[in-house]
Amino acid sequence: MKCNYDSIIVGGGLVGLSIAYGLARRGQSCLVLDGSDTSYQASRGNFGLVWVQGKGVGFSSYADWTLHSSNLWSSFRDELQEHSGKHLGLEQKGGIHICLSNEEFESRKKKLDLLQSHQNGRFSFEMLDRKALLKLQPGLGNDVVGGSWCEHDGHVNPLYLLRSLHDSILKHKGQLYFDATVSKISYRKGVFDILSKKGSFKSSILILAAGLGNSALAPFVGLKQPVRPQKGQILVTQKVDKIIRFPMAQLRQTAEGSIMIGDSKEEVGFDISSSTDITAKIAFRAQRILPALKHQNIVRNWAALRVMSPDGYPIYDQSITHPGAFAFSCHSGVTLAPAHCFALATDIELGKLGVELHSFSARRFDVS
């Protein structure tokens, strides 16, 4: 069978597009097959943080991978902006995790101390008391006792990032098909035949990056992707003058002036409806952090589904029974975008995942 493309990527979210761009910039002919507008698209509901602090406690490989990707973000931004002509709104001057009690502060410190010890000091953070934190972020509420500060953190506009990846892939002669849900994958003599709503396409390399859809697609190529949905809800205020100096784990102010508020992790299956009881809790916590929010109107809110593995960490796998097939699932599509573009795409082109990714295999969930 003759191949239509060097590589086909199933999934047009941030994970799939970052990999597709990484392959396209290396000269591969790429096709991205994305689902319909009714698909559960985590990337379009992303909060937009580039976040290092707190990630990978107990899983040092993930901490290393996250820090590595964060360090690549400025060069990734520059390259995409050059190709697409679009500003991504990246600010990476540090980020804050707010603590609303002494118990939360001490727990946070222990967590980050452990993370730093596992990374031999490469991860940098500071625990700041209330007085020190107010110098960074004035206007904090009386309930704020302190928090953690990390110089590696920042934020970006995820929708601008998606559009920039779209345009950069096309500029490198890649193709994107929308409403192209994949229903079947066949394999014969080193060639994958992918049946989609847009027709049948063939390639020697196949990347499954379909988010929650990976669990159904992975068995076609002898892999497992045990992922589940986790709902997160986001509130957006009217545009206001600059009042948030640095992004926080729960709050960030966009370049346009609106404030995004997000602080929920709900195990409710595939329900993407907004619930007033949860949004009320999100808003209340946000007002405890920054009382000025009491005077701002909420103009939008939505819910989206994170792609979660059993332990919450990414899954990176390649098939032994179907050489050339890879499957990747994670919920940190913004933070990890540069690593997916530069490092993961290189591994795919070479035909073998790097040793630093072996611990991310779904085999870690097998019970012997």
What integer pLDDT is reported at residue 312 of this predicted model?
94
Alpha helices in the chain, H assignment, sequence order: 14-24, 60-71, 73-84, 102-118, 130-136, 158-171, 214-217, 276-289, 337-339, 345-350
What integer pLDDT is reported at residue 42 of this predicted model?
55
With a CB cutoff of 8 Å and minimum separation 6, the contacts of 351 are 323, 324
Is residue 325 within 8 A of residue 221, CB to CB? The reply is yes
What integer pLDDT is reported at residue 275 of this predicted model?
84
Torsion sign across C-alpha atoms 302, 80, 312, 124: negative
| Residue 128 per-residue DSSP state | E
Where the chain has pLDDT below 50, the residues are none
What gap in Å lies between CA 108 and CA 141, rounded to an integer?
19
Is residue 230 within 8 A of residue 266, CB to CB? The reply is yes
Q: What angle do CA 149, 153, 156 make, to 5 degrees?
A: 140
pLDDT tens profile 181-200: 999 999 999 999 999 999 99
Is residue 48 within 8 A of residue 155, CB to CB? The reply is yes
pLDDT tens profile 306-330: 999 999 999 999 999 999 999 999 9
pTM of the model: 0.95
What integer pLDDT is reported at residue 264 of this predicted model?
86
Domains contained in the chain, CATH given: 5-73+158-226+311-365 (3.50.50.60), 95-151 (no CATH), 228-308 (3.30.9.10)
Q: With CA atoms as reference, report the closest residue to 42 among 327, 307, 278, 265.
A: 307
What gap in Å lies between CA 239 and CA 282, rounded to an integer?
19
HSE, side-chain direction, 13 A CA sphere, residue 331: 22
Pairing of strands 5-10, 199-208: parallel
